[in-house]
A and B are shown apart, each in its own frame.
Chain A
């Protein structure tokens, strides 16, 4: 017989078990990638140049090779890769704030982007903030909340949800389940190509559906006078305010991606539209889209280790040459 007293007793026990579950998740997630990145940033206070971005930067920026490319005249630079997969502008802004705070010698940032990362608004539902995007919940939820959502309810409760490990780290839990699911799904089938980031074929889903859609989006951004994404704007403003030089880098893409997207007047016009917007932060734009041959890519989007060496060396050399030539002024485009 269920009495009110027994029901309340069950609820109290459930609350206790839920608390224990949260403590367990908190303990198990101490090694999650956002927390590792935070520790890495704090343990590299001598960094002079930090690369920020998503998985394209994480996979493509090799700090050692960048330094070798930079040191053509014998000078050195301590570079740091702060890229993290499956993150967006809001997370990049929060990472940038950590760099400005804990790496006081960082005089330059490299911000790697692809497609419409610089003008897409990036706001979405609360359910999208998981996995590595939990940076927003872990680093500075109060700051992140203002850039993430379109509805006030999510914005208001976000800092409270940040205190609930089961919510913050749910992506880490799902990843473990997903790995098992893929293992079962692959039983009896030919092994699918996969790398550090996941199944190679999956990354085709991230590409724009057709060249026409892509060009339409380029034209739409200009017609609507889209501003720089608010979180990227905040990152660049704070960096510029600290006297940090900003290099905005169009990340290398495969021949297929460039044929379908970048090799068009619409993309070139869109980039020309961005230049005056980026001038307000004294940013230098570097087009590296065609720097790396297809065979050095690990999947349709990410550079493999050899591709990262090729790209980073050339980027280090290009930035050093730019700085030797002149102090970066208003936004300019370099190759």
Chain B
């Protein structure tokens, strides 16, 4: 259950529910995880931006 708690803490931190930095962030891979999170955000923006237009031509 330890990993579940750690995940919960990370999600709360990323979602802004808590300001307390997860302990693993200060570990050796924390800054890599942050980069992966930023990349995930870039990917999500690329996928979903401009999706609110009334008419999107689909033949492409």
Contacts and interface: CB of A to CB of B under 8 A. Distances in A.
Prevailing SS type, chain B contact patch: helix
A124 interface: no
Interface in B13-39: 21, 26, 30-32, 34-36, 38-39
A181 B47 CA distance: 12
B60 A17 contact: no
A202 B55 CA distance: 6
A10 B42 contact: no
A160 interface: no
A7 to B, nearest CB: 8
Nearest to B39: A17
A205 B54 contact: yes
B36 to A, nearest CB: 7
A172 B46 contact: no
A85 B50 CA distance: 19
A178 B31 contact: no
Interface in A202-216: 202, 205-206
Nearest to B57: A86
Contacts of A198: 56-59
Contact of A86 (B21, B26, B54, B60): B60
B35 A174 contact: no
Contacts of B46: 166, 170, 173
B35 A11 contact: yes
A127 B60 CA distance: 16
B57 A21 contact: no
Given A13-B31, A21-B43, A177-B47, A197 B57 contact: yes
Contacts of A196: 59
A170 B60 CA distance: 10
Interface in A1-20: 1-2, 6-7, 9-14, 17-18
Contacts of A170: 46
A212 B42 CA distance: 45
Contact of A177 (B51, B57, B60): B51
B48 to A, nearest CB: 7
A2 to B, nearest CB: 8
Nearest to B41: A14
Interface string A265-283: 0000000000000000000
Contacts of B60: 32-33, 85-86, 131-132, 171-172, 175
Given A13-B32, A13-B36, A177-B47, A18 B57 contact: no
A55 interface: yes
9 contacts: A2-B21, A14-B42, A21-B42, A86-B59, A170-B46, A174-B56, A175-B56, A177-B51, A181-B51
* Shortest Cβ-Cβ A-B pairs, 6 listed: A13-B35, A131-B60, A17-B39, A86-B57, A198-B58, A6-B31
Interface of A: 1-2, 6-7, 9-14, 17-18, 21, 32-33, 55, 85-86, 127, 131-132, 166, 170-175, 177-179, 181-182, 196-198, 202, 205-206
Interface of B: 21, 26, 30-32, 34-36, 38-39, 42-43, 46-48, 50-51, 54-60
